[in-house]
């Protein structure tokens, strides 16, 4: 099992470094991986703390983006395929039921 890397020692930081690092993490909520990428590009040469935290946020946002693309992409493809199958069945006058469906509306 892979262990989560722990920082070996505290990295000295100023209040500005901490603010920039916080914004790097929070920017992925609105901007995806673009936010941390911007903070990484701006802060990588300013301080070790900004570089460390922006790099961590950037790596996590890229990981999250890949996972989202894979899962949403697969779900989106499934929806597209089953919608086409359902549409073709309806065009033939058949009653079609999706193989996986949460039937909320009765």
Q: Per-10-residue mean pLDDT for the chain, 106 residues long?
A: 63 90 93 93 92 93 88 86 93 89 78
Record the pTM. Answer: 0.69
What is the C-alpha separation between 74 and 69, in angstroms, rounded? Answer: 8
What is the C-alpha separation between 75 and 82, in angstroms, rounded? Answer: 11
User: Is residue 105 helix, strand or coil?
Assistant: coil
Please, is 87 exposed, middle or buried when counting C-beta atoms within 10 Å of its C-beta (0-12, 13-18, 19+)?
exposed
């Amino acid at each position: 099992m892979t262990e989560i890397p722990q920082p070996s020692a505290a990295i000295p930081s100023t209040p500005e470094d901490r603010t920039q690092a916080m914004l790097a993490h929070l920017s992925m909520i609105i901007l995806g991986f673009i936010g941390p990428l911007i903070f990484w590009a701006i802060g990588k040469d300013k301080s070790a703390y900004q570089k460390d935290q922006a790099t961590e946020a950037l790596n996590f946002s890229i990981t999250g983006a890949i996972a989202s693309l894979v899962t949403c992409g697969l779900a989106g493809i499934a929806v597209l395929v089953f919608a086409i199958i359902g549409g073709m069945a309806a065009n033939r006058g058949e009653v079609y039921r999706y193989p996986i469906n949460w039937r909320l509306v009765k």
